[in-house]
Amino acid sequence: MSNQAPLPTEVDNVGLLHRDRAEGIVVECNGTEATISTVAGDTEASDSYWAVGQLISIQVGKNRVVGLLHTVEHDAETWDSNSENPILLKVELSGEVRADERRGMIFSGGITQYPYIGAVAHRIRKKDLSTIYRSSDPSAVTIGSLSQSADIPAVVSVDALLSRHFAVVGTTGTGKSTAVTLLLHLIAKHKPNQRVLILDPHNEYTSAFGDKANTITAESLDLPFWLLNLEEFQQVIFRGREGSEEEVDALREFIPQAKTMYRYGAGNSVRRKAGSGGSFTADTPVPYRLADLLKLIDEEIGSLDGALRRLTLRLLKSRIEAAINDPRFSFLFGSHDASDRIDSVLSNIYRVPIAGKPITVFQMSGIPSEVVNSVASVLCRLAFDLALASNSKVKTLVVCEEAHRYIPSDSGSAFAPTRDAIARIAKEGRKYGVSLAIITQRPNELDPTILSQCNTVFSLRLGNDEDQNVMRKAISNGSRSTLAFLSSLADRECIAFGSAVSTPMRMRFRNLALSARPSSQNVSDGDDIMAQDNASLTDIVTALRGDSSKEHQTVNDAEEWVLHDEPFATAPAPSYADAKSEVTLKPRSLLKRKSD
Which range in 105-109, 269-273, 343-347, 411-415 is most confidently predicted, on average pLDDT?
A: 343-347
pLDDT-derived band of residue 378, with 50, 70 and 90 as boundaries?
Answer: very high
Helix (H) or strand (E) holding 102: none
pLDDT of residue 2: 41
Long-range contacts of 547-553 (CB under 8 A, 24+ apart): 548/215, 548/217, 548/219, 548/220, 552/206, 552/207, 552/209, 552/210, 552/211, 552/213, 553/207, 553/210, 553/515
Question: Does residue 527 have a pLDDT over 90?
Answer: no
CB 461 within 8 A of CB 16: no
pLDDT of residue 562: 64
CB 23 within 8 A of CB 2: yes
Q: Poorest-confidence range of 2-6, 24-28, 213-217, 398-402? A: 2-6
pLDDT of residue 45: 53
Domains of the chain as residue ranges with CATH: 23-133 (2.40.30), 141-213+357-525+534-563 (3.40.50.300), 225-333 (no CATH)
pTM, full prediction: 0.82
SS3 for 299-317 is HHHHCCCCHHHHHHHHHHH
pLDDT of residue 273: 44
pLDDT in tens, 145-174: 999 888 899 999 999 999 999 999 999 989
Q: Residue 580: how many CB atoms within 10 A of its CB?
A: 10
Q: Poorest-confidence range of 137-146, 194-203, 263-272? A: 263-272
pLDDT in tens, 222-259: 889 999 999 999 989 988 777 789 999 999 999 999 99
Question: Does residue 272 have a pLDDT over 70?
Answer: no
Query: Cα separations (Å) of 362 from 177, 275, 468, 558?
Result: 15, 39, 30, 25
Question: Does residue 441 have a pLDDT over 90?
Answer: yes
In 3D space, the residue among 230, 238, 243, 158 whose CA is nearest the CA of residue 196 turns out to be 158
- Rounded-to-integer distance, Cα 389 and Cα 591, Å: 9
Q: Where are the alpha helices (DSSP H) in 265-306?
A: 290-302
pLDDT in tens, 302-329: 886 656 688 889 999 999 999 999 888 8
Query: Cα separations (Å) of 277 from 154, 284, 591?
Result: 56, 13, 13
Of residues 46 and 28, more confidently modeled: 28
Partners of 198 in beta bridges: 361, 399
- Rounded-to-integer distance, Cα 104 and Cα 545, Å: 61
- Rounded-to-integer distance, Cα 149 and Cα 425, Å: 37
pLDDT of residue 412: 75
* Residue length of the chain: 596
Q: Residue 489: how many CB atoms within 10 A of its CB?
A: 21
The rounded percent of the chain whose pLDDT value lies above 90 is 44
Q: Poorest-confidence range of 30-44, 114-128, 394-408, 533-547? A: 533-547
pLDDT of residue 428: 94
pLDDT of residue 317: 93
Of residues 369 and 560, more confidently modeled: 369
Averaged pLDDT, 469-475: 86
Chain mean pLDDT for the chain: 82
pLDDT of residue 551: 47
pLDDT of residue 264: 82
pLDDT of residue 22: 79
Helix (H) or strand (E) holding 196: strand 195-200
- Rounded-to-integer distance, Cα 7 and Cα 4, Å: 9
Pairing, β 86-100 against β 104-108: antiparallel
Q: Where are the alpha helices (DSSP H) in 191-268?
A: 206-209, 230-237, 245-264
Question: Does residue 9 have a pLDDT over 80?
Answer: no
Q: Is 68 helix (H, G, I), strand (E, B) or coil?
A: strand
CB 66 within 8 A of CB 124: yes
Averaged pLDDT, 458-467: 92
pLDDT-derived band of residue 29, with 50, 70 and 90 as boundaries?
Answer: very high
pLDDT of residue 332: 87
Helix (H) or strand (E) holding 144: strand 140-146
Q: What phi, psi does 406 have (nearest 5°)? A: -100, -30
In 3D space, the residue among 121, 117, 1, 119 whose CA is nearest the CA of residue 50 turns out to be 121
Using N-to-C axis directions, what is the helix angle for 245-264 and 307-325, rounded to 10°?
A: 70
pLDDT of residue 251: 93
Of residues 8 and 423, more confidently modeled: 423
pLDDT of residue 515: 82
Q: Where are the beta strands (DSSP E) in 316-441?
A: 359-363, 396-400, 434-440
pLDDT of residue 125: 86
Q: What phi, psi does 429 have (nearest 5°)? A: -60, -35
DSSP 8-state assignment for residue 192: T
pLDDT of residue 368: 85
pLDDT-derived band of residue 18, with 50, 70 and 90 as boundaries?
Answer: very low
Helix (H) or strand (E) holding 578: none
Which range in 67-76, 82-91, 378-387, 411-420 is most confidently predicted, on average pLDDT?
A: 378-387
The sheet carrying 493-498 orders its strands as 153-157, 140-146, 505-509, 493-498, 456-459, 166-169, 434-440, 396-400, 195-200, 359-363, 213-216
Q: Poorest-confidence range of 246-255, 438-447, 518-527? A: 518-527
CB 65 within 8 A of CB 96: yes
- Rounded-to-integer distance, Cα 377 and Cα 374, Å: 5
